[in-house]
Amino acid sequence: MDDKLNQLTLKQALEGLKEKKFSAAELHRSFLNRINLVDRKIFSFTEVVDQQKPKTKERPGILEGIFFAVKEVLSCKNIKTTASSKILKNYIPVYDATVVKKLSDLGAEIIGKTNCDAFAFGASTENSGFGPTKNPWDTSKVPGGSSGGSAAAVAADECIFSLGTDTGGSIRQPASFCGVTGLKPTFGACSRFGLLAMASSFDCPGPLGKTVEDCEIVFEIIKGKDENDATSVVYPKSWKKKQNLKIGLPREFFDDGVDSEVKNLVMQAAGTLEKEGHQLFNVSLPNTPFAVSVYYILVPSEISSNMARYDGIRFGGGRELLEDEVKRRIMLGTYTLSAGYFDQYYLKAASVRSLVKNDYLKTFENVDVILGPVSPTPPFGIGELIGNPLKMYLADVLTVGANLAGIPGLALPCGFTRNGLPVGMQVLGPHFSEDTLFDLGKQYQQITDWHKQKPKL
């Protein structure tokens, strides 16, 4: 019964399948068993696909036999995709999101759809219309969000890897809270086609996995220009590799607002990297204190426009089914874009967005990457912030900067609090520097084993 196949990394699963140590069917059964055993405790999945797809191709793709989970905001053909909102509770897409299709075309199969905050609006997965996902390390805590189900499913070994989306930290923060690895790609590197839109100038689909290496494999497959997404780009050829990096530690990421245990663990990780030959520098991103405000003006503004399509005529139910947080954001955006307030809110925030982006670009003239905590706190309690939207928004303070600037960020585990909760760090780099982030992340995971720890469920 306990074959542990469900614990394999993508790399290990691919090797095992190739060497015929086990079959795709055995792997599939192992995941279904695991889901049956633990998902009632954590609720990662809103939908589980229990039948394997019949094989239609003669030549198997390179991901044949691999099972992945997909966040509820990414369309999957013929599989219910609800955005974790009651308004779409019966919606069945007739096409795949491009990032899903790229994986399916190579033979990978969807094991299920993962819970998230409704329409990905949130930082705890508590805004889901179907109930909160729980943190596998402590089920009284949130798994983070909005890709909480995607992170919890990987942490609980219910899938090999998963897809999430990151608009303001929604891949990195749940990865950090659940002790897994996650990549927010450069904006435009991965197509948004088939992603149920939140904020179109911010949304980035990306992988969550058990290792940096796994996230790299998935990213290499899902990236690239897509005719169906005008903001997607041709990914430039890889960078010149550097052995020893200059790592910037931004003062604003280690200030008084950040929990001291979190700070210490990230500083220890920085020390570990320094011993490997990298150099540490103190840097400053002075407009960081404005980032959350800019984000919570621009994103609701884009939301209010994107969500106008939910009129219940072509698909979905009526607008009365929208969750409270969805209503709040639509209304906030309607207000900030309305006549008389546009200049004061939207235009001002868009100008400060320039300042935030320039902070990052200027810093990257002096250092190769920036290192800091993902979240200012360890995972918080279920119910702790949900009644206070502003406090919940402030949980995004260290992640939204990368989205405002459109740069990539890699979140990876760097330790545990005294109470046994995972803490993650993020490495941010210039546009299209994913290679550098992966190299540094892989090096860190070769000399540490935080990413190998498993929650007891």
Partner 1 sequence: MAKLTKEEIKHIAKLANLKVDEEHSVLFAEQLSAVLDYVEHLKKAPTGLTQPLYNVNGKNNVFREDEVTDCLTQEECLGNAPSTFKGYFKVKSIF
Residues near partner 1 (CB under 8 A): 90-92, 94-95, 187-188, 201, 227, 230-231, 233, 287, 289-290, 292-294, 296-297, 304, 308, 311-317, 319-320, 322, 324, 327-328, 330-332, 334-335, 338, 345, 347-355, 357, 388-390, 393, 404-406, 431
Residue 188 beta carbon to partner 1: minimum distance, rounded to whole angstroms: 5
Three-state SS string over 149-172 comes to: HHHHHHHCCCCCEEEEECCCCCCH
Residues with a catalytic annotation lie at: 71, 146, 170
User: Residue 169 half-sphere exposure, CB side, CA atoms within 13 Å?
Assistant: 31
Neighbours of 168 (CB within 10 A): 31
Contacts of 267 (CB under 8 A, 6+ apart): 249, 254
Distance CA 267, CA 279 (A): 13
Neighbours of 415 (CB within 10 A): 20
Whether the Cβ atoms of residue 429 and residue 364 lie closer than 8 Å to each other: yes
For partner 1, the closer of residues 59 and 314 by Cβ is 314
For partner 1, the closer of residues 322 and 369 by Cβ is 322
For partner 1, the closer of residues 102 and 353 by Cβ is 353
- Give φ, ψ of 191 to 5 degrees: -60, 140
Residue 406 beta carbon to partner 1: minimum distance, rounded to whole angstroms: 3
Residue 327 beta carbon to partner 1: minimum distance, rounded to whole angstroms: 6
Instruction: Give the SS3 label for residue 9.
Output: coil
For partner 1, the closer of residues 57 and 314 by Cβ is 314
Residue 267 beta carbon to partner 1: minimum distance, rounded to whole angstroms: 28
Whether the Cβ atoms of residue 70 and residue 100 lie closer than 8 Å to each other: yes
Give the chain's end-to-end CA distance (angstroms, integer).
16
Whether the Cβ atoms of residue 92 and residue 72 lie closer than 8 Å to each other: no
Residue 101 beta carbon to partner 1: minimum distance, rounded to whole angstroms: 14
> What is the layout of strands, in order, in the sheet containing 409-416?
45-48, 109-114, 67-71, 161-165, 205-209, 181-184, 409-416, 422-428, 369-373, 246-250, 279-283
Residue 304 beta carbon to partner 1: minimum distance, rounded to whole angstroms: 7
Tell me the Cα Rg of the chain. 20
For partner 1, the closer of residues 279 and 344 by Cβ is 344
For partner 1, the closer of residues 304 and 377 by Cβ is 304
